[in-house]
Structure 1
């Protein structure tokens, strides 16, 4: 295996023209955050950009985990299929999120695009080699994995202890927090997933999700101006409902 200095000597000091990283506008949230120009170029050399349409399967559960992905635009849903055919939604990914981390040689879940989506794809074998010589990159990946564990713990609380209304409110707040801007929580959020996807994620029926959203709208806590968008019009009330303080 080549040393870091040997690898670095073979590349220029700036990302090459037409590099997948050249025009990326989510680098501060993605795997490549805080990499130097040299390190970024090495990462770009093992990556490729993908543009996929809505409803396309990106990975299948139990398929060989040959690739990892960074979401750069759009959104993705993660799910597992139970032996009887039922589906359990396990998460939703947005720009900056990482996809395809596997503890063994196979993917542990399936992933499908919720809308037209852009991905940065990495060969798992090449990325693992790069991690050995780029400690900043390895630390960044570990931080992203740790964040996934925190989200999984939040999901356990959501499914196990909260009422239907608290679940839906908590879900909307989580979307707002993930889209948080420099000036504070975002009140206008993208809602690309359907009511059935939300229900599968929260352990609720589609009817219960729709009814709860309708009630929140009647209470002037949210507004749904267009399909795929939602506006939080009373953030504090939504927080109180999510925490069971209504």
Structure 2
């Protein structure tokens, strides 16, 4: 693996694909050393501050990103100015894999984050010449499609309580790189962003969280952390059984 000087802007310095903490959760985790080296040669390591834009809706889709740390919000702005957050990305997640000459969404870092950026044409060429990477990307696309179906069910059929309970149960599995104690949920996003993602108002999110706290289902540790005290009841709430 190559090692570049620390002052080489925009490129890897002391780290490489084989030492990246996000590798076990990403498509590159299934690659052999030779294919991993090819991928590493195309990677441009990028660092983003909180609120910094990765891609903007309508911009040319020239790059794809593999998030390696932190978190990213993906959203669309509606014609009336409202924002619909369509997803949150964490270590191992990809951005920009969908076809199309332009990005159909915007993406911003929620917190200090890092990602490997690849020129789309080069990445697609590598996929076609590397069967193991092609299979891994296909599995990732299938996973994202299943997640999209789950989100449609969440927004279309579930109540506010069911939506928030489902969100709290599912979030830790989507953020595998961040160390967390059992039952603890880290929320890097704001209450307003949770509301935009779940199709609720911020007042409704706060009201349901207060209800969960009052009933002893969760304990709020800080603005961005909570502990699930009664996971079985939270799961029942997610299924509409309470």
Between the aligned partners of 2:35 and 2:19, the Cα distance in structure 1 is: 16
- Asked if 1:112 is matched to 2:108, the reply is yes
**Paired position in structure 2 for 1:164:** 160
Query: Shift in Å at residue 19 of structure 1?
Result: 5.1
* Root mean square deviation, CA, Å: 1.6
Output one character per residue of 1:72-93: Cα deviation in whole Å (capped at 9) or x when no partner: 1100001011112111110001
Q: Contact 1:176 / 1:186 at 8 angstroms: preserved in 2?
A: no
Alignment of 1:20-169 (within 5 A): 20-169=16-165
Q: 2:208 aligns with which of 195, 209, 212?
A: 212
Matched position secondary structure for 2:27: coil
Query: Shift in Å at residue 20 of structure 1?
Result: 3.2
Matched position secondary structure for 2:115: strand
Matched position secondary structure for 2:193: helix
Count of aligned positions: 229
Q: Contact 1:75 / 1:94 at 8 angstroms: preserved in 2?
A: yes
Matched position secondary structure for 2:25: coil
Query: Shift in Å at residue 131 of structure 1?
Result: 1.1
* 4+ residue segments displaced more than 4 Å: none
Output one character per residue of 1:35-91: Cα deviation in whole Å (capped at 9) or x when no partner: 011110000000011111101111011111111111111000010111121111100
- Asked if 1:175 is matched to 2:171, the reply is yes
Query: Shift in Å at residue 180 of structure 1?
Result: 6.4
Q: Contact 1:89 / 1:201 at 8 angstroms: preserved in 2?
A: yes
Q: Contact 2:63 / 2:117 at 8 angstroms: preserved in 1?
A: yes
Q: Contact 1:20 / 1:49 at 8 angstroms: preserved in 2?
A: no
Matched position secondary structure for 1:70: strand
Query: Shift in Å at residue 227 of structure 1?
Result: 2.5
**Paired position in structure 2 for 1:16:** 2
Matched position secondary structure for 1:148: helix
Q: Contact 1:74 / 1:115 at 8 angstroms: preserved in 2?
A: yes
TM-score normalised over the length of structure 1: 0.89
Between the aligned partners of 1:190 and 1:95, the Cα distance in structure 2 is: 14
Q: Which runs of 5+ in 1 are unaligned?
A: 1-14
- Asked if 1:236 is matched to 2:222, the reply is no
Between the aligned partners of 1:25 and 1:210, the Cα distance in structure 2 is: 34
Output one character per residue of 1:148-188: Cα deviation in whole Å (capped at 9) or x when no partner: 1111100111111111111110111110333469xxx9521
Between the aligned partners of 2:36 and 2:172, the Cα distance in structure 1 is: 30
Between the aligned partners of 2:15 and 2:49, the Cα distance in structure 1 is: 22
Matched position secondary structure for 2:194: helix
